[in-house]
Amino acid sequence: MRKVYQSVHFLQLETNIVVDGKRVAIKFSGESFQPRIPGKFDTSDPKLIAAMDADIKRAGSKAAYRCVLSEGDSKAKSPENDNLVNEPPAGNEDFTKAKEVNTLQEAKEYLIKNVEGITASRIPNKQAVINAARQNKIEFPNLQ
């Protein structure tokens, strides 16, 4: 099994995770500035994968990274991969529906006003707005 993880905000991220009582260094390598694509890290080590998945689950929306690709194990469909789809899961009652938002600019302003830590520079395009909304459990059903 192989999984690829992507940093949520940073082009470069170096961190550690404890696997079997030992610290393992993890380095997310930068992708690009324009368009902004955060760094990625991939591994095939099942113990490291289990530790990283547990870390993501524990941290929830505050996690520094997420799984973007899972290969080799059909049972390992990662819920984090759902973040790559443009629409949130149908019928998800946990999402706040911002029905008053109709345009991309209104969606940006809504996120900047209502989500702590979101700035205009973090949401430069439609996909970034959709991803930021999904990570914060916000849905824009009328966004065009």
Task: State the Cα–Cα distance between residues 37 and 72, nearest whole angstrom.
Answer: 25
More confident residue, 85 or 133: 133
Task: State the Cα–Cα distance between residues 100 and 82, nearest whole angstrom.
Answer: 25
Please tell me whether the peptide bond between 35 and the residue prior to it is cis, using omega within 30 degrees of 0. Answer: yes
Report angle CA 34, 57, 125 to the nearest 5 degrees: 25
Q: Domain residue spans in the chain? A: 2-83, 96-139
Contact 98/140 with Cβ under 8 angstroms? yes
Mean pLDDT for 10-31 is: 86
Dihedral through CA 53, CA 139, CA 112, CA 103, nearest 10?
A: 140
Give pTM, 2 decimals.
0.49
Residues 26-54 pLDDT 10s: 998 876 777 777 888 989 999 999 998 88
pLDDT, position 48: 92
Dihedral through CA 132, CA 135, CA 141, CA 144, nearest 10?
A: 20
More confident residue, 44 or 56: 44
Contact 1/13 with Cβ under 8 angstroms? no
Contact 14/25 with Cβ under 8 angstroms? yes
